[in-house]
Structure 1
Amino acid sequence: MVAQDTLVSYSAFNASLPDIVQIGGVWTPPALRGKGYAKSVVAGSLLYARSQGLKHAILFTGDNNQAAQAVYRGIGFLPTGEKYGLVLFEETQA
């Protein structure tokens, strides 16, 4: 998101499947936080995903990041749990 020729926030999809996207890389410069930029950019990402036929999205935030959690709840996300893991598969040689 750009305001007056300045990058004020961004959001990206860091994973996607035919029916779901994972939003990641949400960032706003510290001096510009609390102005609604992250909320707008994530909402815009969700609108784009919906325009592509997707109906589900997921994102993660730290346990202590109350501000981000409030923003995400404000646009419809619900907490689903506390424990997640990441599985990395080794590449196999053919």
Structure 2
Amino acid sequence: MTGTGVIRLTEADWRVFAALRLRALADSAGTDDAEYRTELTFTGTQWRRRLRAHAQFVLARDNRFVGLIAAHRASPVSVYLYSLWTDPDERGRGVAGELLTAAIDWGRELGARTVTLRVHQDNAAALGVYRGFGFVDTPDLPGIGENSSPADEVTMSLTLS
């Protein structure tokens, strides 16, 4: 995999996905984080299963992967986005916007009418990006993610036309 642009990963890309996901977790949560330590032990089968279950998009620039976002169909009419990450050297350069566009377009292709996500309430940069896309603060909705939002997260949604 080389080039530039957003790419949806397939099961065959599990090594790329594993490396980028672990890089993202190490950057955002640290290598002592329980989720990082758990995913560090994943087998190829587990990484491939994750790629089968949810859409994983990466952004390549100059033959280097600089961002990642995950999406899954939460219901026949809604998509849930999670784990948006951009390389620290690329922040503020439109990576998040390119990844969000790809994930939202994927949701549209599935016939989704709503895209939902969660973000830490103190992440001003992410909140700004999401609001720029038209996401609005929303009460927790049943079935959009694994659990209800922690108190320090904001649930946001975007209505697709």
TM class by shorter-chain length? Answer: 0.7 to 0.9
Aligned counterparts of 1:36 and 1:57: Cα–Cα separation in 2 = 20
Matched, 1:68 2:123: no
Q: Which runs of 5+ in 1 are unaligned?
A: 88-94
Matches within 5 A, 1:8-87: 8-14=66-72, 16-81=74-139, 86=147
Structure-1 separation of matches of 2:131 and 2:66: 21
Higher RCO (Cα < 8 Å, 6 or more apart): 1
The Cα RMSD (Å) is 2.1
Q: TM-score, normalised by structure 2?
A: 0.49
Deviation at 1:80, TM superposition (A): 1.7
Letter in 2 for 1:55: R
Query: Taking structure 1 as the reference length, what is the TM-score of the superposition?
Result: 0.81
Structure with the higher fraction of residues in strand conformation: 2
Runs of 4+ in 1 over 3 A off after TM superposition: none
Higher helix share: 2
Moved more, 63-72 or 35-44: 35-44
